[in-house]
């Protein structure tokens, strides 16, 4: 079926056939700075991939995971970019200036002449849509290169995850007293801001958001206060877990790696389990429907404060109070409705759309026409660019020409 020719999606110009979940987690574990293998292990991994010769070890008597990963790359490949982990580091502990190769978290990827010099391979390299490495191999090299790379990577990552092991334990979501203190402070500040906002709303002195009523402006600002509180807690938890995994000499192989690598889950899931749930949301706003002038009978009528509006200040590790459980269920109900209703709506919409467009084609004069020769567009997509030959819609012509000139100059020198 020549699947290797379908790696790049013609819809948006990004890789759609990629490694997922265990594949990305395994690639992350393989290329972590702390990962090393004995000669026997390195030979076994290389043999699994059909590689018969090993280079010299780069960690004394041991082989780094970066060195073994480099065996899978084309020798003329040169890339530099920030890893997925860098995004989470910026969220928790922003850097004033990118240190690139000297990043203490090893979050800057640099591949030079087919050798991974620094950085961890994660969803930013191999993920769907935005995988920079996968996209480069698929677009700049023959299709057999990406096929062979995926085949070998799947073997290596399966070996890593199987032999090193990945755990999922309750203790992974325990947090320090420092995080708990930050959480209590964030909740207290949010409640105080909420009280001030309620007073301004009652007096009618609340500043309107352009295009919104007084009530809509109030609800939006209450959502913002709750979101800011959760963000503070999330940043603190993320910083703590990043240090545990990336700065430790013997990092734990657990679900935190899944989040940092982008293979599964997000920091918000970690915050929900370890920190607090935050504001329950229904249709992108605070819950409205309930008892007369209140959500549940535990609160006074016409109480529009933070806690009465569905704010959940506990995590799953701590356990939710009875009223918080009901707030959480209100948001969960929306998900159930979307699952049951939205699927059939979007499915039928796609069917009608596909049937309406199935006879459209691009003619020899670059116009888009129907089977009856009626013109739909004078230029395909109004720009004449085919997404399959771009990266996320950007044709990068100038960049490719510069790369070609650089490559030719290097060939002349050698």
155 and 263 in a single domain? The answer is no
164 neighbors 31 (Cβ within 8 angstroms): no
Vertex 295: Cα angle to 291 and 298 (nearest 5): 95
pLDDT score recorded for residue 222:
94
102 and 248 in a single domain? The answer is no
269 and 315 in a single domain? The answer is yes
pLDDT score recorded for residue 392:
61
Domain limits at 59?
3-164
- Encoded tokens for 52: 């018969």
142 and 12 in a single domain? The answer is yes
134 and 280 in a single domain? The answer is no
The 10 Å CB-count burial string (b at 16+, else e) for 275-310 is bbbbbbbbeeebbeeeeeebbeeebeeeebebbbbb
152 and 185 in a single domain? The answer is no
149 and 12 in a single domain? The answer is yes
What is the SS3 assignment for 357?
helix
Q: What are phi and psi of 251, to 5 degrees?
A: -70, 145
Tell me how far apart the alpha carbons of residues 397 and 8 are, in angstroms, rounded to a whole number.
17
Please indicate, yes or no, if residue 399 is contained in any of the structural domains: yes
Tell me how far apart the alpha carbons of residues 160 and 140 are, in angstroms, rounded to a whole number.
28
CATH code for the domain in which residue 25 is found: 1.10.274.100
160 neighbors 48 (Cβ within 8 angstroms): no
17 and 140 in a single domain? The answer is yes
pLDDT of the chain, 414 residues: tens digit per residue: 688 888 888 877 788 888 988 999 999 999 999 999 999 999 999 988 888 888 898 888 999 999 999 999 999 899 999 999 998 888 888 888 888 888 889 999 999 999 999 999 999 999 888 889 998 998 888 889 999 999 999 999 999 999 988 888 888 899 999 999 999 999 999 999 999 999 999 998 999 899 999 999 999 999 999 999 999 999 999 999 998 888 888 888 988 999 999 999 999 999 999 999 999 988 888 988 788 888 888 888 888 899 989 999 999 999 999 999 999 998 888 888 888 887 888 889 889 999 988 899 999 988 999 989 999 999 988 888 777 777 665 666 666 677 778 778 877 876
28 and 156 in a single domain? The answer is yes
Give the helix/strand (H/E) hosting 333: helix 322-337
Please indicate, yes or no, if residue 332 is contained in any of the structural domains: no
Vertex 237: Cα angle to 231 and 239 (nearest 5): 100
| CB burial of residue 79 (10 Å; 0-12, 13-18, 19+) | middle
Which residue shows structure tokens 């993920």?
127
Please indicate, yes or no, if residue 154 is contained in any of the structural domains: yes
Exposure of 115 in the CB half-sphere (CA atoms within 13 A): 7
What is the SS3 assignment for 91?
helix
Residue ranges of the alpha helices (H) in 167-321? Answer: 177-203, 214-246, 255-261, 267-274
272 and 231 in a single domain? The answer is yes
DSSP state letter for 358: T
pLDDT score recorded for residue 336:
84
312 neighbors 328 (Cβ within 8 angstroms): yes
Please indicate, yes or no, if residue 176 is contained in any of the structural domains: no
Q: Number of folded domains in the chain?
A: 3
Tell me how far apart the alpha carbons of residues 227 and 242 are, in angstroms, rounded to a whole number.
22
Please indicate, yes or no, if residue 98 is contained in any of the structural domains: yes
Q: Give the pTM.
A: 0.84
CATH code for the domain in which residue 234 is found: 1.10.132.30
Please indicate, yes or no, if residue 337 is contained in any of the structural domains: no
**Cβ neighbours, 10 Å, residue 58:** 14
191 and 147 in a single domain? The answer is no
Please indicate, yes or no, if residue 169 is contained in any of the structural domains: no
130 and 185 in a single domain? The answer is no
Query: How far is the first Cα of the chain from the last one, in angstroms, to the nearest whole number?
Result: 39
57 neighbors 39 (Cβ within 8 angstroms): yes
**Cβ neighbours, 10 Å, residue 354:** 9
Please indicate, yes or no, if residue 24 is contained in any of the structural domains: yes
Q: What are phi and psi of 169, to 5 degrees?
A: -120, 160
């Amino acid at each position: 079926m020549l699947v290797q020719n379908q790696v790049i999606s013609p819809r948006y110009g990004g890789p759609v056939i990629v490694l997922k979940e265990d594949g990305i987690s395994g690639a992350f574990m393989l290329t972590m700075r702390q990962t090393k293998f004995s000669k026997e292990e390195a030979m076994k991994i290389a043999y699994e991939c059909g590689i018969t010769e090993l280079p010299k070890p780069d960690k004394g008597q041991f082989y780094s995971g970066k060195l073994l990963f480099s065996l899978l790359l084309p020798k003329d490949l040169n890339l530099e970019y920030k890893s997925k982990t860098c995004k989470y580091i910026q969220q928790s502990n922003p850097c004033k200036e990118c240190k690139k190769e000297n990043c203490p978290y090893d979050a800057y990827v640099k591949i030079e002449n087919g050798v991974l010099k620094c950085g961890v391979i994660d969803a930013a390299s191999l993920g769907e849509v935005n995988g920079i490495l996968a996209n480069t191999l698929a677009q700049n090299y023959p299709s057999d290169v990406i096929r062979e790379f995926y085949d070998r990577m799947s073997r290596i990552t399966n070996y890593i995850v199987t032999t090193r092991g990945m755990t999922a334990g309750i203790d992974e979501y325990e947090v320090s007293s420092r995080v708990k203190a930050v959480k209590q402070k964030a909740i207290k500040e949010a409640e105080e801001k909420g009280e001030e906002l309620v007073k301004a709303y009652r007096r009618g002195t609340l500043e309107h958001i352009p295009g919104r009523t007084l009530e809509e402006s109030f609800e939006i600002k209450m959502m913002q206060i709750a979101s800011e509180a959760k963000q503070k807690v999330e940043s603190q938890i993320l910083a703590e877990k990043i240090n545990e995994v990336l700065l430790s000499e013997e990092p734990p192989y657990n679900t935190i790696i899944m989040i940092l690598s982008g293979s599964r889950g997000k920091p918000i899931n970690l915050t929900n389990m370890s920190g607090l749930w935050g504001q329950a949301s229904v249709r992108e706003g605070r819950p409205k429907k309930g008892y007369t002038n209140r959500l549940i009978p535990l609160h006074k009528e016409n109480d529009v404060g933070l806690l009465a509006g569905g704010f959940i200040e506990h995590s799953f590790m701590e356990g939710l109070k009875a009223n918080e459980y009901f707030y959480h269920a209100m948001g969960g109900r929306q998900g159930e409705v979307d699952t049951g209703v939205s699927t059939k709506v979007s499915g039928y919409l796609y069917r009608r759309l596909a049937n309406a467009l199935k006879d459209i084609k691009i003619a020899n004069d670059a116009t888009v026409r129907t089977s009856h020769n009626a013109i739909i567009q004078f230029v395909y997509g109004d720009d004449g660019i085919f997404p399959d030959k771009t990266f996320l819609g950007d044709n990068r012509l100038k960049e490719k020409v510069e790369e070609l000139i650089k490559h030719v100059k290097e060939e002349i020198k050698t």
